[in-house]
Structure 1
Amino acid sequence: MTEFATADDGTPIAYEEKGVGVPVLLIAGQATGMRGWGPFADALARDFRVIAYDHRGIDESGLGDPGLYSTRAFADDAVAVLDAAGVAAAHVVGHSMGGRVAQWLAADHPERVRRLVLMATTSGDRSAARRDPAAVADLLSGDLGRMVPLFFDDSWASTHPADVDRFFTRTASRPALRGHFAASRDHDGADVLARIRARTLVVHGTHDPLTPLPHGEVLAERVPDATLAVFNAGHGLHLDTPDVLEAVRAFLLPEGQRAASRAG
């Protein structure tokens, strides 16, 4: 069932939850709805209370002022969701732009973050590696034929059409899409990373055309208590690479529960 948090400016933020246990907050990428987490969220819900939400301007959440969109402001929306769900602190998993948002959440509100997972994301340090302009053009094209290969393995995409459709399908106005793109593009967390106190897992793919691997390496170097896990994958590695799910679960589960979950 969809519920609503209220952001500081009064914007309604839609969220849903499933499962029981320690809360895990999922923060989606640029202009991606909460249902895009698909089987990743479903799998985590076997061990955790999983909370996912729509960024402002996406699907059921309110628009707010797109001219004020930023990854730091989006982190305040995440806090509003935690408050509405009655969660004092949660594990936080952010993908792509959601990882940028998660950096601000962990730095500005350290008491709200238990453990942190940053997947296929960047601090915004442009010296790490440049995006391929062709990949950016494909991302902004709106053409699924051009977008899907940026994220997913061809064979996985062909055998999981419903999950691919759920990932890319969302409702958003042009001002919202422009605001999301600007927020993601302008993220600059290079000076924020040292303030992150949560134990952190950085998850990255070796052939990510949207966020090349050096960005993950920078995060792992600069976040004080971080570990880098590298996979033979692209930008949508949390969906098409089973080992990513297992790495995240292993990182978030206590050792005793991890063994019991494997046995089950």
Structure 2
Amino acid sequence: MSAEKIVSNNGIELWTESFGDPRDPAILLVMGSMSQGVVWPDGLVGRLAAAGRYVIRYDHRDTGRSTAVDFAANPYTWADLRDDIVRVMDAYGLASAHVVGHSAGGLIGQWLAVESPERVETLTVIGSSPLGGREGKVLMAALMGEEQPEGSLPPPTAAFVDFYRAAMAAGAPPATRRERVEAQVAEARLLHGPELPFDEEAERALQERILDRARDPDSVVNHRMAGMADLDFEPVGVLDRVKAPTLVVEGTREPVKPGHGAVIAEQIPGAQLLMVEGMGHTLPEEVHAELARAITAHTAGRM
């Protein structure tokens, strides 16, 4: 069973959904940039709730059923996306929670653990980059064919670069709903990686669901605008201030941020690194059991 709730703060509505018993330890799931909360797979969420966790997922502003912002009139920053995590906690009466973030959700989870350590009981980052690593600059350099600065993060795979260069060269974005869905399925196939089976029909159904529940499907680009407005938004050299026990998860076939997990684990004191065989940048059914076991153990202090 699940329960939905709208969290309102300063004119922003955030759609949230909870699973399990509110008396159990709370896990707050933070999805990546431009992604709805329902991208957290129901199967993984269900396993966590069945293991005795109160699980909450939510739509970032400008995704899904949350507020679609007029960015020109009301611009925001990545710090606002970080603080939305706290707004969700406050709405649920949580002084703190176990924060689990995927991709950019893991990055702002790190940021929250640095800035508001009392709100983060444990931290789990999946397929993420280290706070202060300037991942955006690394990606742009790779896509533009520029030399990576010395000491920068490992670049994305050649397959990732080729895919997005081709998309950039194509010019015009998808014009119809069908084209939009098929473009997202193609991107998901790339992010999924080549090793584990890719369920194309399940992905297509997810993309249809994402379109159906979006207030404005195009408003997700506001996340990119918030980031591009200041590529130096991240504080640098602060991960040694993270006090929360931290689990870092990376797939062995990660195409976007390969090797970034090890960098995070090196910079956060006591962090543990879990490499998941065959996983790319998505959360397929084949890895749900392993991820649920790891997160359950970590949030119980048993890792």
Query: Which TM-score bucket, shorter chain as reference?
Result: 0.7 to 0.9
Deviating more after overlay: 121-130 vs 17-26: 121-130
SS at match of 2:256: coil
2:247 aligned with 1:201: yes
Asked which structure has the greater CA Rg, the reply is: 2
Match of 1:30 among 29, 33, 37: 33
The Cα shift of 1:162 comes to 3.4
> How far apart, in 2, do the equivalents of 1:194 and 1:139 lie?
38
> How far apart, in 1, do the equivalents of 2:12 and 2:121 lie?
26
2:82 aligned with 1:75: yes
> How far apart, in 2, do the equivalents of 1:236 and 1:77 lie?
23
2:91 aligned with 1:51: no
**Residues 63, 144 of structure 1: alpha-carbon distance in 2 compared, 3 angstrom cutoff:** closer
Match of 2:123 among 92, 116, 125: 116
Match of 2:205 among 154, 161, 165: 165
The Cα shift of 1:181 comes to 2.7
Aligned-residue Cα RMSD (Å) equals 2.7
Corresponding residue number in structure 2 for 1:261: none
Deviation by residue 1:70-104 (Cα, 9 ceiling, x = unmatched): 33221111100000011111000000111111112
The Cα shift of 1:189 comes to 4.7
The Cα shift of 1:3 comes to 1.0
> How far apart, in 1, do the equivalents of 2:202 and 2:262 lie?
32
- What 5-or-longer segments of structure 1 have no aligned partner? 259-264
Matches within 5 A, 1:121-132: 121-123=128-130, 125=133, 126=138, 127-131=152-156, 132=160
Q: TM-score, normalised by structure 2?
A: 0.74
Corresponding residue number in structure 2 for 1:262: none
SS at match of 2:250: strand
Corresponding residue number in structure 2 for 1:221: 266
Deviation by residue 1:30-78 (Cα, 9 ceiling, x = unmatched): 2211112121111111120001110001111112354634332211111
Corresponding residue number in structure 1 for 2:149: none
Matches within 5 A, 1:1-264: 1-7=3-9, 9-20=10-21, 21-38=24-41, 39-46=43-50, 47-64=52-69, 66=71, 68-123=75-130, 125=133, 126=138, 127-131=152-156, 132-137=160-165, 143-152=183-192, 156-158=197-199, 161-162=201-202, 165-166=205-206, 169-170=210-211, 171=214, 173=216, 176-183=219-226, 186=231, 188-213=234-259, 215-232=260-277, 233-237=279-283, 239-242=285-288, 243-255=290-302
- What letter matches 1:211 in structure 2? K
Report if aligned partners of 1:209, 1:235 keep a CA contact under 8 Å in 2.
Answer: yes
The Cα shift of 1:147 comes to 1.1
- What 5-or-longer segments of structure 2 have no aligned partner? 139-151, 174-179
> How far apart, in 1, do the equivalents of 2:68 and 2:46 lie?
27
Percent identical among aligned pairs is 30
Q: TM-score, normalised by structure 1?
A: 0.84
The Cα shift of 1:235 comes to 0.5
Count of residues in Structure 1 that have an aligned counterpart in Structure 2: 253
**Residues 62, 245 of structure 1: alpha-carbon distance in 2 compared, 3 angstrom cutoff:** same
SS at match of 1:57: coil
SS at match of 2:34: coil
